[in-house]
Amino acid sequence: MQGSKNSIGYSELDRIPTPVRFVHTVPGAGRLLPSSSRWNSIELDFNVLPQSSNAWDSIPPRYSRSISFNLTIGDKKHFCRFLVFAASITITFLILILLLSILPRRKHHHDPSKDLTLALNQALLFFDAQKSGHYPNDSAITFRGDSGLGDGNMATTQADLVGGFYDSGNNMKFSFPTAYTVTLLSWSVLEYHDKYADIKELDHVKDIIKWGSDYLLKLFIPKNTTNSAILYSQVGSPGNDPSGENSRENDISCWQRPEDMSYPRPVSVCDATALDLAGETVAGMSAAALVFKDQKDYSGKLVQAAEELFNLARNVDPSLKPGTYTSMDDCGGQAKNFYNSTSYRDEMVWGATWLFFATGNSSYLDYAHDKFATAEEEELPSDKEVFSWNSKLAANAILLTRLRFFRDLGYPYETTFASTTNRTDLLMCSYTSTLKFPKTEGGLILLKPETSGPLQHAATASFLTKLYGDYLSLLHRTRASCGAAVFSLETLRDFSWSQVNYILGDNPMKISYMVGYGDHYPTQVHHRGASIPWDKNRHTCRDGEYWLNRKEANPNILHGAMVAGPDINDIFEDKRSNNWFTEPSISGNAGLVAALIALHDPPSDSSHPNGVNSGIDKTGLFDNIKVVPSAS
């Protein structure tokens, strides 16, 4: 048989009938086979290509193949239409895939039960509860009144220091965290004022900022012909006066409402050598000036004070030994146990950056550009990824990266800007990676696990990641990288939401760490005003011992206060006397407000020419910048 099969010649092959009209399929064969009957086949007439005249096309293949026959088309017109239609569908499909890969995806990552509008309103109410001075009659807080009306008026000090905010659960007023709070709240407004306006909270947050910026203006007394400049760092005494002159009753030892205070409230005085306090105060006044840019006189007053203070600080005589305010006993010795500052260069760079935005004066940007690397060298390793009242460089890097993304000024800033962008990308990787920082079993990031108050750092990390994601979204970028690692917008949003969700109740304790939000929240907040009833009776320090140590819930709900939070094992103790867990602070709440507004949905009716609706003001921060980028 093999011999007869091989004896077939070319002439016999030429006589084989063509074309084959029918083919059929065999299940599982994965190919078409010739068929002799139309009843078990499909008719094909694919004679699309010209028939070859080469005889070698008719030689049987050495190896079996799926189809070894000619196909012809009976109606080429219909087939061409089919090809055009198929090509159109394919091209459309490819375009859709390309668009989906380029355009940022809008995705809600939060629990629908999380009402961020309510959360924001309550978080802002906390600042109303912390106001010192002549208390507003229209406040929604019903357990507060006038307090601290004699602040600054002492035998050794004659100053008007009425106003500002009580720092936390005590009756102290610390200038350093107050200035930071004003800066951060102002930043959140400058970025997301459309969101604030949409939920009817813009006037509210601006009122809070102005309450703080009014106080900052009182803290700085410019030099004159007879006196050098003064910067006040503190009102009140924690009872650890380095001179040994402590009152038995003071703002820490006495558990008393601020309205009932009768003990002495000494004032701590600094000068321009307290560079960290000066830098943060400059930042607060400059950022607030941008918020109130429509109020020309007030904004100008803030800028004038900020410029004068900054120029004093940066030109201070080195022989006077400039440093941190807490390194100087008279200036910040008493604050050391509460807000100990570890560096001053980051605040000076921070202040210069905000002053540049407020004025457009490139000399301030030059300062930030020239001193940023030096500030990084002084930065503690444990502070490199933290944005807090003590650490500003991580946030400052994002601000300079923002400038590079949307208002690139070219030479000579590009090297520093590239460095800050690289640092920011590394920061995002450190937050979203599981390798850099530990997290609790419940998912809370522990940026400084050796200290209390983990929520304040988680809140600012949430704010920075969402903010940076919005910057990338405006650039139509869906991801970025730090070395070999890659992070996406979705990764940033997921991390940001995870920290806020934890704070609002998605944690192993099933407790909202924002007082008044949800069904289960702390009821024994470490807070003098909230823990003593508003009954028109004066309560003495001795009375306060009872209210501090009682086991029942506070008689007044301190709406919106974010407490210090759990320990590294997600354990939280709702006990008034344990401030490690239950004490709130204005600096911590400022970070929470910033995170909440960043995550809040943008106005649904807002339209943007670049097609991205993130609720962010892309250029408002740059209104005063007149520098023309270099052509080189």
- Domain final residue, candidates 36, 58, 80: 58
Phi-psi region of 64 (alpha: psi -120 to 50; beta: other; left: phi over 0): beta
DSSP character string of 186-223: HHHHHHHHHHHHHTT-HHHHHHHHHHHHHHHHHHEE--
22 and 124 share one domain: no
Q: Which of 457, 526, 539, 559 is catalytic?
A: 526
69 inside domain: no
Answer yes or no: do 168 and 29 share one domain.
no
Q: For position 156, what pLDDT does the model report?
A: 84
Task: Determine, yes or no, domain membership for 145.
Answer: yes
In a domain, 95, yes or no: no
The pLDDT value given to residue 351: 98
The larger pLDDT score, comparing residue 552 to residue 2, is at: 552
Q: Is residue 86 domain-resident?
A: no
Residues 190 and 52 in one domain: no
Name the phi and psi angles at 162, rounded to 5.
-75, 135
85 in a structural domain: no
Q: What is the DSSP letter of 91?
A: H
Q: In whole numbers, what is the pLDDT of the chain averaged over residues?
A: 86
Instruction: Give the pLDDT mean for 487-504.
Output: 97
Query: What's the average model confidence in pLDDT over 476-482?
Result: 94
pLDDT, one tens digit per residue, over 153-163 is 988 888 999 99
Is residue 216 located within the same domain as residue 144?
yes
- Asked if residue 78 is part of any domain, the answer here is no
Domain count, the chain: 2
Identify the band that residue 186 occupies on the pLDDT scale cut at 50, 70 and 90: very high
Which structural domain, as residue segments, surrounds residue 14?
Answer: 10-58
Q: Percent of the chain beyond pLDDT 70?
A: 81
Identify the weakest region by mean pLDDT among 308-317, 575-584, 612-621.
612-621
Domain boundary among 22, 43, 58: 58
- Residues 19 and 156 placed together within one structural domain of the fold: no
Q: Are residues 543 and 142 in contact, defined by beta-carbon separation less than 8 angstroms?
A: no
Average pLDDT over residues 528-556: 95
pLDDT at 607: 55
Lowest-pLDDT range, 65-79, 150-164, 223-237, 425-439? 65-79
Q: Is residue 403 domain-shared with residue 477, that is, in the same domain?
A: yes
48 & 125 share domain: no
> Residue 56's pLDDT band (boundaries 50, 70, 90)?
very low
Strands 173-174 and 230-235: antiparallel
Nearest to 242 by CA among 349, 161, 329: 329
Structural domain contains residue 92: no
**Is 447 within 8 Å of 385 (Cβ atoms)?**
yes
Beta strand 22-25 with 32-34 is antiparallel
SS3 229: coil
Q: pLDDT by residue (tens digit) across 328-362?
A: 999 999 999 999 999 999 999 999 999 999 999 99
Same domain? For 200 and 291 the reply is yes
Percent of the chain with pLDDT over 90: 73
Specify whether 499 is located in the same domain as 580.
yes
Tell whether 24 and 134 lie within a shared domain: no
> In this structure, are 477 and 370 located in the same domain?
yes
Q: Do residues 31 and 123 both lie within one domain?
A: no
Predicted TM-score (pTM) above 0.75:
yes
Q: From CA 404, how far away is CA 48, in angstroms rounded? A: 57
pLDDT (0 to 100) of residue 295: 97
pLDDT of 64 > 90? The answer is: no
pLDDT at residue number 608: 57
Residue located via tokens 């943007």: 608
How many other C-beta atoms are found inside a 10 Å radius of the C-beta of residue 575? 15
Q: Is 457 an annotated catalytic residue?
A: no
Residue 629: pLDDT over 60: no
Q: Is residue 368 domain-resident? A: yes
